[in-house]
Homo-oligomer: A and B are copies of this chain.
């Protein structure tokens, strides 16, 4: 790629449209901006700028487009596949300061906000209006812009769907600086190709999201969780298709293993309600009628007991809720803290294939003599499987992770799964996506990329390149 290097003139331009204190270069750029949450892939931007407005983003893009400078956009940097790493240097635009909630519209059940608003702020804000933004990814400090760019799913996808299902409208800046408004506060839309849905999940490669209109729904009045211990993971996960088939419509079905719970206890210095069993299902139910919720969870509790569950804990006190959900929220960090380095596989498989996939990863653990930890969304088939480096040398680790991943993704394809359920392709999973889709499919993606970005300056080297 023949990109122009950022020089003094470019810096001068950036300073002229932003304030001097929003343009960082050289040593004044914090090293954190060279990588995302997973690490592994890393490269420093040549210049880091903070945007305050759509107009600023547009001006920067126009300039970068004319001058052939690569641009990468960054939210909280909580990604796991290197999508926000500026592998060709250039300009990094931080969207963290475009973080205002602009309007709540109760007549249209719509929330308008800037892309840098954090996920945790959204739920808190709308709940005060008795409204609900259902998507619930584990990483609450991610920005909504980041969530849109990975089509993040989270735990409630079983019942409520994923981020895509809650995007009513987007304002975007194209690579050449043009501003487009996609969708709006409308419930239906059949007005030409859905560019909005193409932006969702495009990992910052097609356009820059500068404003968001989210769909809200009425807040369910009641919610309850069940923690259900099983003698082993097979039995726990094997029960899930029976729960789905029972039509009891839980909001979430998570699975977790004892090792991960112990790691979280150690990490948080906080006890989980129970850690005596090998494997657990954690289910939630929500709705407006206690009677309905009770009927649903009794039905599911009975299914679990019939399938060999050891007990059923109702998580109804604030203390228990806090213990369970803070642990669930800390799993990734806890696993990471337990080893020297790790990489993750975020496949999604049909829900009745989860057990087979997890059983296979146990086999791989023995076969390759490597620690593998997993937890995730049993109810929607999206698994987070972590392979841990521990005391392997860098070279041995590089070889091992390649072999283990190769095997895992092959298995996922056999089960008609897909490479990524919610973390995306970014830089790290490009090979596996190509293996899955083949040349023709990925080439079509490349052509779509060129339709948006003929000079290939926006987040180059990601997804399909």
Contacts and interface: CB of A to CB of B under 8 A. Distances in A.
Contacts of A185: 350-351, 416
Contacts of A101: none
Contacts of A186: 348-350, 381-382, 416-418, 421
B452 A190 contact: no
Contact of A244 (B109, B219, B418): B109
Contacts of A291: 289, 291
A350 B425 contact: no
A151 B150 CA distance: 22
The interface centre, meaning the residue of A174, A241, A418, A419 with most chain B CB atoms within 10 A of its CB, is: A418
Interface stretch (A114-122, A192-200, A223-231, A319-327): A192-200
Given A187-B157, A450-B451, A192 B108 contact: no
B197 A164 contact: yes
B218 A249 contact: yes
A191 interface: yes
A444 B437 contact: no
A198 B190 contact: no
A448 interface: yes
A292 B445 CA distance: 46
A178 interface: yes
A292 B290 CA distance: 10
B451 A444 contact: yes
A193 B464 contact: yes
A298 B223 CA distance: 24
A349 B191 CA distance: 12
A436 interface: yes
Nearest to A241: B107
A158 interface: yes
A282 B248 CA distance: 29
Nearest to A426: B190
A184 B452 contact: no
Given A158-B187, A291-B289, A192 B247 contact: no
A440 interface: yes
A445 B188 contact: no
Given A194-B200, A444-B174, A188 B352 contact: no
A447 interface: yes
A333 interface: no
Contacts of A265: none
Contacts of A424: 190
Contact of A188 (B189, B380, B444): B380
A37 interface: no
B244 A108 contact: yes
Interface string A229-263: 00000000000010011011100000000000000
A191 B433 contact: yes
A288 interface: yes
Nearest to A216: B247
Given A244-B107, A350-B108, A350-B185, A447 B451 contact: yes
Given A241-B107, A448-B193, A381 B187 contact: yes
A282 to B, nearest CB: 17
A421 B187 CA distance: 8
B441 A180 contact: yes
Contact of A195 (B178, B420, B444): B444
Interface in A284-308: 288-289, 291-292
Interface of A: 105-110, 130-131, 150-153, 157-158, 161-162, 164-165, 174, 178, 180, 183-195, 197-198, 200-202, 206, 217-219, 241, 244-245, 247-249, 288-289, 291-292, 346, 348-352, 377, 380-382, 416-425, 433, 436-437, 440-442, 444-445, 447-452, 463-464
- List 8 tightest A-B contacts by C-beta distance, closest first: A447-B451, A197-B197, A218-B247, A187-B380, A188-B421, A107-B241, A107-B352, A153-B188
11 contacts: A164-B197, A186-B382, A189-B348, A191-B420, A193-B445, A193-B449, A194-B198, A194-B200, A218-B247, A288-B292, A291-B291
